[in-house]
Amino acid sequence: MISIFQARRFRFGKTDCMKKNLLIAFGLLDLISFVHSYKIGINMLNSIGQILILSILEILLIVSLIATGILSIMRKKISLIIYYIQFPLKLGFVILTFAFLFRLFGFQYNSNEYRMLLWFIAFLEIARLIFTIMIHKREFKN
């Protein structure tokens, strides 16, 4: 006869592994986002705009993508906290986790397909936030 602990472990074991793998996938996606957006940061360093605070925030966001990418792959709690700070900045500066889909599909800007993809990417970004919160609650309880 198996104990209650063993039954719970058997029942939730696969989902826990999936959550950890999801955290690694999010880390890889953040590194991909950095690769696609680091040129923006370099251009901003060369010509810091009139609105200095926004330029600094965008550069910090781009650099923090490396931190969340690496720390998420290492499954560290701090990566989730950094992501919570990044989330509104990602939406504001449109440096999204799944923005690589724009290049993948290559839709014409301002077409109906492009708009639909934009809404889908926004949905994926919100889904990532929800999964991040779920992982934070279940994996890092303290």
Per-residue pLDDT tens digits for 48-72: 656 678 888 888 999 999 999 999 9
Rounded to two decimals, the pTM is 0.78
- Among 45, 62, 46, CA closest to 96: 62
Q: What is the pLDDT of residues 74-124, one digit of tens each?
A: 999 999 999 999 999 998 888 888 988 988 998 898 899 999 999 999 999
Integer Cα distance of 95 and 64 in angstroms = 12
72 and 139 in contact (C-beta within 8 Å)? no
Where does the pLDDT of residue 17 fall: very low under 50, low under 70, confident under 90, or very high at 90 and above?
confident
Measure the CA–CA gap between 87 and 108, rounded to whole angstroms.
26
Tokens at residue 86, please?
A: 């990044």
Q: Are 32 and 100 in contact (CB under 8 A)?
A: yes
**Burial environment of residue 59 by CB neighbours within 10 A (0 to 12, 13 to 18, 19 or more):** middle
